């Protein structure tokens, strides 16, 4: 059994509830422990994961949030930089499943977040589990 931390950018409550539900279900089904923390936005997710990773208390991480395109360039910055930060940590060996939705509208977010539909929260959790398995295999654990 491994210990996972869900780091969520709690901005759209309804969609986040769905994402977290899917992620928790996938982690529970695999027999893992899980905790959840909230950060202000998607840009803060990589920083929170980096800090938590340094603590040594967690084996893997699930990044969850929703970024909906607006009228300004801010969407591109948040979507791109949060993904870049997560990828950099993953390249350093931190097992992270990226479930940050980057969508055009709320309808797209609902379909992707809902565990009964696309279940992107569950998908991100399963990705984190698989990356942890690979890390353990490569390190001989």
Q: According to the annotation, is 39 in a ligand binding site?
A: no
Q: According to the annotation, is 11 in a ligand binding site?
A: yes
Specify the pairing of strand 33-39 against strand 3-9: parallel
Q: According to the annotation, is 44 in a ligand binding site?
A: yes
**Two tokens at 86?**
């997560």
Strand partners, 100: 65
- Complete edge-to-edge strand list for the sheet that includes strand 96-103: 33-39, 3-9, 60-68, 96-103
Q: According to the annotation, is 112 in a ligand binding site?
A: yes
Instruction: Kindly list the distances between the CA atom of residue 138 and the CA atoms of 27, 35, 56, 57, 135, in Å, as whole numbers in the listed order.
Output: 22, 26, 19, 20, 5
Collapsing DSSP states into helix, strand and coil, what is residue 76?
helix
Q: According to the annotation, is 42 in a ligand binding site?
A: yes
Q: According to the annotation, is 98 in a ligand binding site?
A: yes
Question: Has 32 been annotated as catalytic?
Answer: no
Which one of the listed residues 14, 28, 37, 74 is annotated catalytic? Answer: 74
Q: According to the annotation, is 26 in a ligand binding site?
A: no
Known binding-site residues for 5-amino-6-(D-ribitylamino)uracil equal 11, 42-44, 66-68, 98
Active site residues: 74
Known binding-site residues equal 11, 42-44, 66-68, 71-72, 98, 112
């Amino acid at each position: 059994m491994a210990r996972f931390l869900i780091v969520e950018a709690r901005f759209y409550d309804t969609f986040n509830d769905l994402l977290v539900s899917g992620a928790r279900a996938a982690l529970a089904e695999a027999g893992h422990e899980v905790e959840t923390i909230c950060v202000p936005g998607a840009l803060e997710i990589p920083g929170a994961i980096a800090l938590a990773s340094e603590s040594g208390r967690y084996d893997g991480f699930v990044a969850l949030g929703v970024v909906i395109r607006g009228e300004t360039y801010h969407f591109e910055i948040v979507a791109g930089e949060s993904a870049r930060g997560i990828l950099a940590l993953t390249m350093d060996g931190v097992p992270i499943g990226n479930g940050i939705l980057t969508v055009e509208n709320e309808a797209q977010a609902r379909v992707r977040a809902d565990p009964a539909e696309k279940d992107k929260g569950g998908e991100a959790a399963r990705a984190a589990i698989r990356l942890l398995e690979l890390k353990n295999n490569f390190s001989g654990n």
